[in-house]
Amino acid sequence: MSVAEIQETEEGYAGHAAEERRRLEKTWAFSSGFFGWFMEVSHTALGRRYIATAMILFLLGGIEALLMRIQLARPENGFLDPDLYNEIFTTHGSTMMFLFAVPVFQGLAIYLVPLMLGTRNTAFPRLNALSYWLFVIGALLLYGGFFLNTGPDAGWFAYVPLSGPEYSPGKRVDVWAQMITFSELSSLAASVNIIATVFKHRAPGMSLNRIPLFVWAMLVTAVMVVFAMPAVMLASTLLAMDRLVDTHFFNIAEGGDPLLFQHLFWFFGHPEVYIIFIPALGVVSAITATFSRRQVFGYMAMVLSLVATGFIGFGLWVHHMFATGLPQLGQSFFTAASMMIAIPSGTQIFCWLATLWSGRLRLNTPLYFVFGFVAIFVLGGLTGIMLASVPLDLQVHDTFFVVAHLHYVLIGGAIFPLFGGLHFWFPKMTGRMLSERLGKLGFWLLFIGFNLTFFPMHKLGLEGMPRRVYTYLPETGWGDLNLLATAGGVVLGLGVLTFLINVAVSLRSGEVAGADPWEGETLEWAIPSPPPPYNFLHLPTVSGRSPLWENWEEQPVVTGVESHRREVLVTASLDAEPDHRDILPGPTIWPFVLALGVGVTFIVAIFTPWGVPIGAVPCAIALVAWFWPRGDMGRYELKEKS
Amino acid sequence: MRERPELDVSDLPTVAFGARASIWWGVVGLMAIEGTMFAIMFASYFYLRGNAAEWPPTGAFHPGLGLTTANLAILLVSMIPMHFAAKAAHREDLAGIRRGLIVATVLCVAVLVIRAIVLSRLTYRWDSHAYGSLIWTTAGFHTLHVITGLLENLLFIALLIKGPVEDKHLVDVRVNTLYWYFVALSWVPFYVIFFLDPGLLDLSY
Amino acid sequence: MIAAPSLAFLAQWTGRHSALDPAGPQAERIGDLWWLMFWISTGVFLAVLTALLAAILRRRREEEDAPGPIAPEARHRLTRVVAGAVGVTVVLLFVLLFASVGTGRALGSLSSRQALTIRLTGQQWWWSVEYQDPVPGRMVTTANEIHIPTGRPILVQLESRDVIHSFWVPNLHGKRDLIPGHKGEVWIQADRPGVYRGQCAEFCGHQHALMGLLVVAEPPEAFAAWLEAQRRPAAPPVTPAQKRGQKLVETLPCALCHTIQGTAASGKTGPDLTHLASRRTLAAGTLPNTPGHLAGWIVDPQSIKPGNHMPANTLQSEDLQALLAYLGSLK
Ligand code: HEA
Ligand code: HEA
Ligand code: CUA
Ligand SMILES: [Cu+2]
């Protein structure tokens, strides 16, 4: 059956609509009540929750950043002692990388991908719930540790031997290692879910070359997660084993090697930064198209660039290790590879500029953030190219120059697009508009504050200021630029505060948004804001890249998907021809219980290896309960009952 | 509201096998993740070996070529009954599935018993040296997979005996088979590097 | 709190502590590479910003506002522009790649057969410096201050006794990690005499921030004289206070951690103090070496470098004075 063979039926849309809506509402209802909160499997509810949780962690990470900035404002400042400073910068980096930047985009993907694909949930709703709860446990572990004075203090990449049993006794690094395990398990679960959803749950007609660029970005990211995260899980697990059961993977005296840890970490760590950056590229494409009112220039070039970035991203890890003195030939290879990645990045920048050039711009806040992204990210990318050069990197490695680079690319490349995206999709998620006035004020505060904070750091790095120093001597002459950076940090904080106020005001009294306030391009704008629990009254079909801009009213809708159970349409992975109907599970507590089981396993394991067998019991029970048929015959055809 | 053209999908089936099913993509994703994990363990082995002055370290004897080879062979043979179970699932032949799974489960237990004997014969522990850490950790990690596979099979057998069996479970049986192939085959490279290591073969006792 | 440093301390450094103020051939080459990269990057950055501004400010004809694909004629024109920009990017990247690899080669070419060899051992949070010599008795051990002759390549062998540290003197060369179990080496050369500050660059725990060192580059004769002086054992005490001080060092726990050649003190966990008074700083570049700071350090090192591995000492005032007199005589 194909889109071409559409049957025009008599009674059609209007007659059924009310009846159908009532049934769908009943079938797909959000779970309610106290326990319901732990049983939720709806992707919009979990996606929103994911984003909100990650934003709270961003605020925590931001407050830590401000504390560091206060300490560094003056030479020999006594605001934080070295112990606390080390805990704070480690917690800041780990929070921002593992518990904010990755999860927030994962939340955005979980929320938006099914909407953009025109389906009712992700392929594995319960896996979504598991992923969310694991993420929460990871966050609670890190901050529980932090507030019990057991926060990790060996940096966000926790190099051995400093993080090993000999030089970091106590439980601090164990907290870090297990937090990594939770957050990576969570990302892996989310990514498998997104991959399956993108390949199997697209609206009929959405062949691969019609997938929105945002979804492409999320798909490439998810694939990168699958191949990158195992390395860091292994690194953190081996580290935990060295610490807890006396293995010797990194112990030089017994045949281990500290450099192995660095290879394992950065084999993940470099892809990690693109795992944060690529989703942001998807957001930029979505905003640029909508507010230029033009399809993004060069769809194929954009998709190929995303894929190329994903591939090349796995061949760069050694550029974080130039100072360890690896053989020269190898280093030149990694320099070349690192520089080559400027080609896909540049291509995308040029394509967006072309889109903006030819578009009819609507200068709303989201587009401002795209402008900010271009300005800041390009500068950060260019310093990245400098770092890729071995001789230059040997000078600025592990200095504030790198701190400047990483914030330019992370904040410019990912957080500006994120804020743009939040302004863009806020109406969809809440049904209310954000204030443009406050939005633009927030933008300028963030933009100016950002550059004030981080631009001076380039110079500090060249002048010899190493990173991760809790203080410095007055004679170094680093005081003034640091003071400037701190002042910038305050402006940056005001920008974040403005955003929070904007959100709070809008939630109480914002203008009602309606389904499609921006005249959007993709399917999420075809449904009410906020989306009803079943998303689409009738599952849509598409016949182009910009469904809402192309004769939407004439586009056929799918019928024949049962509404008395959670049925969705599964389509062929390449051309999205309808293939079969799948039945998704409803609310269930077991993902939450399983997450708790995993939590018990790894947290108890910090204290005794018996944690593993102890935790295995609840895990096994939860898994069996998860998969055991619930006997609700409505779901599947019965084959045999004995 | 206006009428819109419709695409009626009511005659489509509600189950599909292989790459048509979402769950297949989920399991392939899982295999990709764990395959990467194994590949990185494999690479780490060579990384540490490349640095080592002495490999295997003194005092590390071969736990027995016959035993380790038998272990691998049974593991690989267990793929055959799994294959028949999957075939039976396609035919909707519940008895066939049961038979296949039960035979595979018995083989799986045999694998675990031999694995335990092999480990008990190792002359070093995970905390003896990096070599020991590698072997124990890899073997442990893989054994965990075998145990998971075993439990999964038991779960299916219980389900098939007790019911109710839904058509979706037939897809699950197939996918479970795929995963079992992965578990069995992933031991082959480790068998080669661990137990066919020429340095170690000289040291059998 | 760290005591306020004296102005004299400031005057001890020559030039700016900066990678862009080279005092040797390597830093100079890297500096040149930096400026090449800087100007190319500035050009690229300005070009992108200009394009962005132009796209925003471009006056648009009042054509149809409906959203949709880019008009075909416009698309063809833009395709050429975008392809051109990508082409320029590729060319520039090759320029940068060749410049980078070329600089790397040049850096690697510095070496010499009869080089002065210095073994630098990092530990939490100070540097042990050993001048190698075929005759064991002529080896010199000192700490936190490296003297080198100008105009001559020096081989620095790098080792770590505990965690990873990184040796970095920006005015001379880029950094190189000190990794336990991995022997590393780096060649440096200073062409201008002067005192150049360096600092540990790899995070190594509590006092990573205050793990500094000085490189003192002097004309070859001055260097030779310094080395000769360092070869001698500690100056014998002369005054009664100094004599008492020496006794104290040998009987207090100091001797367990510090070595003073020619006395009973032969500990290895702390810096060698044989010629302490000849050094410019205390506690790895943290304090100027004055009697006041020395006293402060001995009595309460933990408030100066919290977490460092030297314990506090409670001393009678006259004992402290004796100790200072002795340590101050160790030229
Ligand atoms: C969003 C995250 C992100 C992104 C996108 C990037 C992008 C890049 N990064 Fe960055 N990087 C980090 C996050 C990121 N990085 C982090 C977090 C660290 C520090 C980790 C730590 O130590 O804590 C780091 C560290 C880091 C290092 C190690 C530094 C060190 O520790 O010594 C290096 C070295 O090569 C590097 C290189 C690059 C390169 C070449 C790119 C390229 O992808 C950039 C490509 C983009 C452009 C170049 C701009 C657009 C292109 C054009 C407009 C075309 C014209 C351009 C030219 C002609 C040049 N990065
Ligand atoms: C996405 C990642 C991300 C983000 C967004 C940030 C954001 C910021 N970072 Fe971070 N940073 C990293 C990732 C990130 N950082 C990483 C990976 C490291 C390396 C860590 C390591 O070395 O191990 C690092 C290290 C790092 C350092 C170096 C520490 C050192 O080496 O000694 C500094 C110093 O200035 C810094 C500063 C900042 C600042 C000022 C912000 C600002 O942008 C923050 C802005 C946010 C706020 C200011 C919060 C606003 C909150 C309020 C206004 C309060 C409202 C409160 C309530 C309502 C409760 N960061
Ligand atoms: Cu030693 Cu930092
Ligand atoms: Cu990188």
The fraction of chain A above a pLDDT of 70, given in percent, is: 95
Residues with Cβ–ion distance below 5 A, ligand 4: A 270
Q: Say yes or no: B22 contacts chain A, CB-CB below 8 A.
A: yes
CA A275–ligand 4 middle distance (angstroms): 11
For atom 1 of ligand 3, which residue has the closest CA? C165
Q: What is the pLDDT of residues A341-379, one digit of tens each?
A: 999 999 999 999 999 999 989 999 999 999 999 999 999
Q: What is the pLDDT of residues A193-221, one digit of tens each?
A: 999 999 999 999 999 999 999 999 999 99
CA C305–ligand 3 middle distance (angstroms): 13
pLDDT at B3 over 70: no
Residue of higher predicted confidence among A98 and B161: A98
With H, G, I as helix, E, B as strand and everything else as coil, classify residue C216. Answer: strand
Confidence of residue C331 (pLDDT cuts 50, 70, 90): confident
Q: What is the pLDDT of residues A182-199, one digit of tens each?
A: 999 999 999 999 999 999
Number of the ligand closest to the Cα of C203: 3
CA A180–ligand 4 middle distance (angstroms): 19
Q: What is the pLDDT of residues C251-284, one digit of tens each?
A: 999 999 999 999 999 999 999 999 999 999 999 9
| Per-residue model confidence (pLDDT) at position C58 | 87
| Per-residue model confidence (pLDDT) at position A328 | 78
Rounded to 10°, the helix A82-94/A172-200 angle is 10
Confidence of residue C295 (pLDDT cuts 50, 70, 90): very high
Instruction: Please answer whether residues A501 and A493 qualify as being in contact, where contact means their C-beta atoms are separated by less than 8 angstroms.
Output: no
Ligand 1 pocket check for A343: Cβ under 6 Å? no
| Per-residue model confidence (pLDDT) at position A635 | 52
> Exposed (0-12), middle (13-18) or buried (19+): which is C191, by Cβ within 10 Å?
middle
Q: What is the DSSP string of C275-287?
A: TGGG-SEETTTTE
CA B168–ligand 3 middle distance (angstroms): 59
Ligand 3 pocket check for C165: Cβ under 6 Å? yes
Chains with ≥3 CB–CB distances under 8 Å to B? A
| Per-residue model confidence (pLDDT) at position A12 | 47
Taking one residue from A and the other from B, the number of pairs with CB-CB distance under 8 angstroms is 237
A162: which residues sit within 8 A by CB, 6+ positions away? A154, A168, C163, C164, C203, C204, C205
For atom 53 of ligand 1, which residue has the closest CA? A346
| Per-residue model confidence (pLDDT) at position A266 | 96
Question: Residue A163's closest CA among A265, A255, A231, A74?
Answer: A265
Instruction: Please answer whether residues C226 and C218 qualify as being in contact, where contact means their C-beta atoms are separated by less than 8 angstroms.
Output: yes
Confidence of residue C17 (pLDDT cuts 50, 70, 90): confident
Instruction: Please answer whether residues A9 and A563 qualify as being in contact, where contact means their C-beta atoms are separated by less than 8 angstroms.
Output: no
With H, G, I as helix, E, B as strand and everything else as coil, classify residue C151. Answer: coil
Scanning every residue of chain A, which has its alpha carbon at the shortest distance from the alpha carbon of B38? A230
Q: What share of chain A is helix, strand, coil (3-state, %, to 5)?
A: 70, 5, 30
B26/A196 CB distance under 8 A: yes
Strands (E) in chain C, as ranges, are: 116-123, 126-131, 140-143, 145-149, 154-160, 165-167, 176-178, 184-188, 194-199, 212-218, 281-282, 287-288
Ligand 3 pocket check for C122: Cβ under 6 Å? yes
Question: Residue A591's closest CA among A275, A193, A227?
Answer: A193
User: Angle at Cα A231 formed by Cα A225 and Cα A236, nearest 5°?
Assistant: 115
pLDDT at A641 over 70: no
Question: Residue A276's closest CA among A104, A65, A43?
Answer: A104
Query: How high is the mean pLDDT of chain A?
Result: 93
Cα four-point dihedral sign A624, A626, A632, A637: negative
Strands C287-288 and A578-583: unpaired
Instruction: Please answer whether residues A397 and C201 qualify as being in contact, where contact means their C-beta atoms are separated by less than 8 angstroms.
Output: yes
Ligand 1 pocket check for A319: Cβ under 6 Å? yes
| Per-residue model confidence (pLDDT) at position A7 | 40
Q: What share of chain C is helix, strand, coil (3-state, %, to 5)?
A: 40, 20, 40
Confidence of residue A638 (pLDDT cuts 50, 70, 90): low
Residue of higher predicted confidence among A454 and A15: A454
With H, G, I as helix, E, B as strand and everything else as coil, classify residue B205. Answer: coil
A358/C68 CB distance under 8 A: no
Q: What is the DSSP string of A382-404?
A: HHHHHHHSHHHHHHHTTBHHHHH
Instruction: Please answer whether residues B194 and B62 qualify as being in contact, where contact means their C-beta atoms are separated by less than 8 angstroms.
Output: no
Q: What is the pLDDT of residues A164-179, one digit of tens each?
A: 999 999 999 999 999 9
Q: How many other CB atoms sit within 10 Å of the CB of residue A273?
A: 20
A195/B165 CB distance under 8 A: no
CA A65–ligand 2 middle distance (angstroms): 4
| Per-residue model confidence (pLDDT) at position A6 | 39
| Per-residue model confidence (pLDDT) at position A124 | 95
Taking CB atoms and a 6 Å cutoff, what residues make up the pocket around ligand 2?
A 59, 62-63, 65-66, 68-69, 89-90, 92-93, 96-97, 101, 155-156, 403, 406-407, 410-411, 415, 453, 467-469, 489, 492-493, 496-497, 500
Confidence of residue A632 (pLDDT cuts 50, 70, 90): low
pLDDT at C59 over 90: no
The fraction of chain C above a pLDDT of 70, given in percent, is: 95
Instruction: Please answer whether residues A366 and C78 qualify as being in contact, where contact means their C-beta atoms are separated by less than 8 angstroms.
Output: no
Scanning every residue of chain C, which has its alpha carbon at the shortest distance from the alpha carbon of A291? C67
A6/B15 CB distance under 8 A: no
CA A269–ligand 3 middle distance (angstroms): 22
A631/B26 CB distance under 8 A: no
Rounded to 10°, the helix A416-430/A436-462 angle is 160
| Per-residue model confidence (pLDDT) at position B169 | 85
Chain A residues near residue C286 by CB distance under 8 angstroms: 473
Average pLDDT over residues A261-284: 96
Q: What span, in angstroms and rounded, lies between the C-alpha atoms of A221 and A107? A: 13
Confidence of residue B187 (pLDDT cuts 50, 70, 90): very high
Q: Is C262 left (phi over 0), alpha (psi -120 to 50) or beta?
A: left
With H, G, I as helix, E, B as strand and everything else as coil, classify residue C123. Answer: strand
Q: What is the pLDDT of residues A471-529, one digit of tens each?
A: 999 989 999 999 999 999 999 999 999 999 999 999 999 999 999 999 999 999 999 99
Query: Most confidently modeled of A401-405, B191-195, C315-319?
Result: A401-405
pLDDT at C306 over 70: yes
From the list C9, C51, C173, the residue facing A353 with the nearest CB is C51
The fraction of chain A above a pLDDT of 90, given in percent, is: 87
What are the helix and strand counts (H, E) for chain A?
20, 4
Scanning every residue of chain A, which has its alpha carbon at the shortest distance from the alpha carbon of B53? A255
From the list A226, A558, A561, the residue facing B32 with the nearest CB is A226
Please report, for residues A588, A620, A632, the alpha-carbon distance to residue B164 in angstroms, rounded to integers and kept in the order given.
Answer: 19, 21, 10
Chain B residues near residue A5 by CB distance under 8 angstroms: 7
With H, G, I as helix, E, B as strand and everything else as coil, classify residue A430. Answer: helix
Counting ligand 2 atoms within 8 A of each CB, the residue from A173, A403, A415, A453 with the most, and so the one to mutate, is: A403
pLDDT at B16 over 90: no
Ligand 3 pocket check for C285: Cβ under 6 Å? no
Chain A residues near residue B44 by CB distance under 8 angstroms: 234, 249, 260, 264
Instruction: Please answer whether residues A106 and A136 qualify as being in contact, where contact means their C-beta atoms are separated by less than 8 angstroms.
Output: no
Confidence of residue A330 (pLDDT cuts 50, 70, 90): confident
Number of the ligand closest to the Cα of C209: 3
Q: What is the DSSP string of A272-331?
A: HHHHHHHHHHHHHHHHHHHHHTBPPS-HHHHHHHHHHHHHHGGG-GGGG-GGG---HHHH
Scanning every residue of chain B, which has its alpha carbon at the shortest distance from the alpha carbon of A640? B165
Residue type at position B67: L
Tell which atom from ligand 2 comes closest to the C-alpha of A467: 31
CA A401–ligand 1 middle distance (angstroms): 12
Q: Say yes or no: B120 contacts chain A, CB-CB below 8 A.
A: no
Counting ligand 2 atoms within 8 A of each CB, the residue from A92, A142, A408 with the most, and so the one to mutate, is: A92
CA C205–ligand 3 middle distance (angstroms): 7
Please report, for residues A31, A494, A614, B123, the alpha-carbon distance to residue A589 in angstroms, rounded to integers and kept in the order given.
Answer: 11, 40, 20, 46
> Exposed (0-12), middle (13-18) or buried (19+): which is C61, by Cβ within 10 Å?
exposed
pLDDT at A1 over 60: no
C103/A356 CB distance under 8 A: no
| Per-residue model confidence (pLDDT) at position A14 | 53
Number of the ligand closest to the Cα of C40: 1
From the list C20, C101, C206, the residue facing A82 with the nearest CB is C206
Scanning every residue of chain A, which has its alpha carbon at the shortest distance from the alpha carbon of C80? A354
Counting ligand 2 atoms within 8 A of each CB, the residue from A57, A69, A79, A89 with the most, and so the one to mutate, is: A89
| Per-residue model confidence (pLDDT) at position A636 | 57
Confidence of residue A2 (pLDDT cuts 50, 70, 90): very low
